[in-house]
Amino acid sequence: MLAIFLTTLTITAPVFAMLFLGALLKRINWIDDSFIHTASALVFNVTMPALLFLGIIHADLNSALKPALLIYFSVATLVCFALAWGWAIVRCPRADRGIYTQGAFRGNNAVIGLALAASLYGDYGISLGAILAALVILLYNTLSTIVLAVYSPVIKSDPWSICKSVLSNPLIISVIAAVPFAYFQIRLPGWLETSGGYLAQMTLPLALICIGGTLSLAAMRKSGGLALSSSLVKMIGLPVLATTGAWLWGFRGAELGVLFLYFASPTAASSFVMARAANGNHELAAAIIVITTLMAAMTTNIGIFVLQWGGWI
């Protein structure tokens, strides 16, 4: 448990450092709203697709395929998404429902979830985490695109337009394009992979600087109630529900532990990028990311303690 706590702090400390840097740069006028808008578009259209593509082509999908785990994660994610959306309809004004829903179900599994799984289970945790990587990315981006399109002022919400929005999403395109490379173990030329790596490494720092530049005390106060509500759903309500379902399904040991860590991860920074692309309430998205990241150090450790105390992981 101490190892999980220290790992969580190790992961989240650089995140908050970059958020603070973004806020500081905005405060001293080294970046402005125009920069944040342009940089967010760059992350959404270029650097994050590069990150996802390279991450997937390096995964060994042939040896990491576990149907029961994939089926449960898919079902649980769809249920959590439906519950979050339903609660958003009850809880939020219409314009904020897409942002609230995305913040409540979309976890930062590619960075925090996988790192915590590796800390708890070593190489086996990495293997189990890799099983879910491509599925996580595809599910989260598809569902986020749908719910944001329904409430976006710039995206048409009829079924055909939503379908086109999903299929034209750069993040989803990168996932679909990467799967054949991973499955058939096709490798890119060294120079191309290195260039893609440069772009991929820009993703998280640039996205976090944009989030930090968006945050302000006034914005936090304005979206505080909704942000806290979405964060509680993300960090307590849905992890408890999904992990209980996994236990009832029969998962035990590392599989149950990794599922818990994935459902209990804080909201992904990419939710802010997608909120900006959909011209949604990106201040609310940024606040949810900050609050869930703060909560993760406590809720993750409590969850691991309970599961270990019960002898289930």
What integer pLDDT is reported at residue 219 of this predicted model? 65
Buried b (16+ CB within 10 A) or exposed e, 95-124: ebbbbbbbbbbbbbbbbbbbbbbbbbbeee
Token pair recorded at residue 265: 């991860």
Distance from C-alpha of 146 to C-alpha of 312, rounded to nearest angstrom: 36
What integer pLDDT is reported at residue 285 of this predicted model? 93
- DSSP output for 170-188: HHHHHHHHHHHHHHTT---
Please name every residue paired with 107 in a beta bridge, in sequence order, or none if there are none: 267
Query: Which range among 24-33, 125-134, 165-174, 257-266 shows the weakest confidence by mean pLDDT?
Result: 125-134
Find tokens 């259209």 and name the residue. 45
What integer pLDDT is reported at residue 241 of this predicted model? 97
| Mean per-residue pLDDT over the chain, rounded | 86
- Residue 195, pLDDT above cutoff 80: yes
Half-sphere exposure of 189 (CA within 13 A, CB side): 3
**Of the candidates 72, 43, 19, the residue with the CA atom closest to the CA atom of residue 199:** 43
C-alpha distance from residue 194 to each of 50, 179, 187, 197 (Å): 11, 19, 12, 5
Whole-structure pTM value: 0.83
What integer pLDDT is reported at residue 130 of this predicted model? 66
Query: Which range among 58-67, 114-123, 226-235 shows the weakest confidence by mean pLDDT?
Result: 58-67
What integer pLDDT is reported at residue 126 of this predicted model? 65
**Of the candidates 8, 252, 254, the residue with the CA atom closest to the CA atom of residue 113:** 8
Distance from C-alpha of 46 to C-alpha of 81, rounded to nearest angstrom: 27
Over range 212-229, report the average pLDDT.
80
Q: How many residues does the chain have?
A: 313
Considering only CA atoms, give the Rg of the chain. 18
The full set of domains in the chain, from first to last, is 2-24+36-307 (1.20.1530.20)
What integer pLDDT is reported at residue 64 of this predicted model? 55
Distance from C-alpha of 174 to C-alpha of 179, rounded to nearest angstrom: 9
- State percent of the chain over pLDDT 70: 90
Could you report the per-residue pLDDT of 117-154, keeping only the tens digit for each? 877 787 677 667 766 766 887 899 889 989 998 998 77
What integer pLDDT is reported at residue 62 of this predicted model? 60
Distance from C-alpha of 128 to C-alpha of 130, rounded to nearest angstrom: 5
Token pair recorded at residue 150: 């329904």
